[in-house]
Amino acid sequence: MIRRSSLPISRRAALTALGAGAALSVLFPRVRPLRAAPTPAKYFIGVYMPHGMAREFWVPKPGFQIAFEGSSLAPFDDAATFGRSFRDQIVALEGLDLTAGLRSATVGHDASRVILTGSGTNGQNASIDQFLAVEQGLGNETPLSSLVLGVGSAEPALQWCISYAKGGTALPKIIDPLATFDHAFGQFLRDPDPLAVARAAREQRLGKSLLDYWTADLAELRTRAPQAERDKLDQHATALRELEKRVIGQAVSCAVPARPDATQFPAVGSYQGGEPYFDLISNLQIDLMVQALACGVTHVSTLFLADLSRTHFDAGLPEDVHTDVAHRYASAGRSGSGGEPTSQAQLARQNHYTYSKIARILQRLAEASLLEQTVLVAISDMGDPAKHSSRQVPTLLAGGWGGALRGGRHIDLGAEGTPSNRLLVSIQQAFGVESDSYGQSVDPSILSGTLSLT
C-alpha cells in the first residue's frame, strides 16, 4: 500500500528494474517535504481523448465561462443533461507538451504512449495508472488492480493504448461491455441453487490448485530467466495474484449491476460494424467503470475513447472525422486570428462530444459520492491534430483529487510548453507518493517538477 512516509522507489530497486544495459536516463526521486493533499485521493481515472482540440472553442471565456455557443467544454456546465454543473470540479489545463515523446520520436498518433507513462517507445516504466495500482498497491485490496477499457479498437498498439505495465508492455483493452461486465462483476454472480453452489465450490478448489501449479512453474522459470526478462515475469506474477483474488472470491460492497443487453450492440469493433453502437458502448463502459469503482472492484481505470467516424451520431460532421475534420483543421493559433472557421467548429463538435462522455463519468461519480476522492485526467495525443503536433495537448483535470485540485479554472502554462511529466508527478503526489519525478527520458531535466493545482 502507499505509505506517505516512505520513498516509493529506492534507487537500488529502480536500477535493478532497469538493468545494467538500459540506455535511458532516469532521474531518481528525491525526498522532500510534500505539499500534499489533505487526504490522499483514492480513485484514478485516465481518459484518452481523440484528435486534439479546436483551441478557438476550447479556451474558456473570462470568468471561466464554458457554456458559450459552440464551447467544447459546455457539457461540464449542462445541468439539464448531466444532473448538475461540474464547472467547479474541472480545470482546463493548457500548455502541456508530451515532451518525453518529442525527445524520443514518439509523436503523432504514437504519442498516446506518452500520455500516462511520461516516456517514449523505449520507456520501461509503467503508466501512472499501473504504477499506482500495481507498484504502489492501490489495487492490492480490490478484486481487480485496474480496469483497462476502450471503445472500438482492442489492439495493444502504440496509437491505441495509454496503459502500460512495468517493463513497457502495452496492456490490452476490453472493448465489449459484456466482457467488461464479466471481467468486473462476473465473479460475484451467485446462483443460489444447491447444485450450482456445489459446482462453484469445486471450481474454486480446482482453481486454487491450478494457481499453485502455475505459480510454482513461474518461480522455476524465473530462476533461469535473464535479468532483462524479469519485468515480464513480474507482470505474469501480478496476473496470477489477480486471478487468485478472483478464484478465492471477494465480497463487493454494492449490488452487482445488470448484465448489458448484447442485442443492443451486435458489433463492437472499429471497422467491423461497431461504429453505430459506439455511443451506447461508450455509455455502458463508463457506467460499468464507475460502478466497478463504487463497488470496490477496483480503484483504477483507464478508458480509450473513439471518435465519431462512421457512427452517424452527429449529422453535422463528415463520415470520416479523422481525415475530414482532424486533418483539415486550420487553427487560428494563439493570436486568435486566421484559420478556417468551419474546420474549427467541426473539430469543436468532436471535442464537445468527447467531453460529454467525460461529463457522464463525473455525473456517475457524483451519484456514487466518489467525485471528491477521484483524480480524473483526460488528455489527447495531439494539440493541433492537422499538424499531428504533440505540443499544447488539451488537458482536462476533474474530480476533487482528495483536495489537491482547485477546480473552476483555466490554467495556461504558456506557449513554450511544459513537460507533461509534471502532471504525472502531481498525480502521484495526490495519492501520497513522495516522489518528484515520473517517466524516463534521454533528457532527465523534463521528468521532475509539479504543477500548481490548488
Partner 1 sequence: MTRTQLLCGSLLALSLSCGTSAPTANGGAPEHSLEPALRRLSTAELDVTAQSLLGNGAALAAALPPDARQSDYSRNVAQSVDSLLLGQLFDATRSATEALDLSQAQFPSCAGTALAADRECAAATVTLLARAAFRRPPSALEVEQLLDLFTLGAESADFESGVALVVRGLLGSPKFLYATTLGTGEPGPNRLSNDELGSELSLLISGQPPDEPLLLAASRGELSSGSERERQALRLLQLPQSRDLYRRFVQEWLGLIGLNGLAKSSQVVSDFPTLRAAMVSETSQFVDDVFSHQAGSVAALLAGNYSIVPDALAGFYGIQPTAPGARVSLSGLGRAGILQQASFLATFAHESESAPVLRGKAVLTRLLCLDFPKPTDLGLDIVFPAADPNATTRERFARHAQDAACKGCHATLDGVGFLFENFDAAGHLRTTESGRAIDTSGSIQLDGQLLTLADSAALSSALANSEQVRQCAARQVVRFAAGKTDVLVEQAFVHSLEGKSVERRTTFLGLFLEFVKSDWFAWRKPQ
Per CB under 8 A, which region of 59-67, 83-91, 201-209, 367-375 contacts partner 1? Answer: 201-209
How far apart, in whole angstroms, are the C-alpha atoms of residue 185 and residue 111? 32
Q: Which is nearer to partner 1, 32 or 224 (CB)?
A: 224
Residue among 300, 298, 304, 425 at smallest CA distance from 375? 300
Q: Contact region for partner 1 (CB under 8 A) — 1-9, 70-78, 150-158, 279-287?
A: 150-158
Residue pair 163/170 in contact (Cβ under 8 Å)? The answer is yes
Run of H or E residues at 303: strand 300-304
Task: Check residue 203 and give left, alpha or beta (phi > 0: left; psi -120 to 50: alpha).
Answer: alpha
Q: Which triple of cell numbers denotes residue 420? A: 507533461
Kindly tell me which residue out of 221, 248, 262, 415 binds partner 1, with binding defined by CB under 8 A.
Answer: 221
Out of 37, 92, 170, 453, name the contact with partner 1 by CB under 8 A.
170
* 203 versus 261: smaller Cβ distance to partner 1: 203
Nearer to partner 1, 246 or 409 (CB): 246
* Contact indicator for 420, 101 with CB cutoff of 8 Å: no
DSSP letter, residue 65: B
- For 414, phi then psi, to 5°, come to 105, 160
When the beta carbons of 7 and 211 are compared against partner 1, the nearer one is 211
Q: Minimum CB separation from partner 1 for residue 39, in Å?
A: 28
Residue 409 interacting with partner 1 (CB under 8 A): no
DSSP 28: P
Q: Which stretch binds partner 1 (CB under 8 A): 216-224, 344-352, 364-372, 407-415?
A: 216-224
The angle subtended at Cα 193 by Cα 189 and Cα 199, nearest 5°, is 75
Please state at what angle helix 278-294 crosses helix 177-185, rounded to 10 degrees. 10
The distance in angstroms from the start CA to the end CA of the chain is 25
Determine, following the binding rule CB under 8 A, whether residue 19 of this chain makes contact with partner 1.
no
8 Å CB contact between 370 and 71? no
Q: Which of 18, 54, 132, 165 binds partner 1 (CB under 8 A)?
A: 165
274 is an interface residue for partner 1 by CB under 8 A: no
- Alpha-carbon separation of residue 253 from 144, 257, 294 (angstroms): 14, 12, 8
CB of 68 to partner 1, least distance (A): 29
Among 310, 349, 352, 364, binds partner 1 (CB under 8 A): 310
Least distance between partner 1 and beta carbon 92 (Å) = 24
Detail the DSSP E strand segments found in 17-163: 43-49, 90-97, 147-150
Q: Is 216 in the site for partner 1 (CB under 8 A)?
A: yes
Residues lying near partner 1 in the complex (CB under 8 A) are found at 102, 105, 107-108, 144-146, 148, 153-157, 165, 167, 169-174, 182-183, 203, 205-207, 209-210, 213-214, 216-218, 221, 224-226, 228-229, 232-233, 235-236, 238-240, 242-243, 246, 270-273, 309-310, 319-320, 322-324, 327-328, 384, 386-390
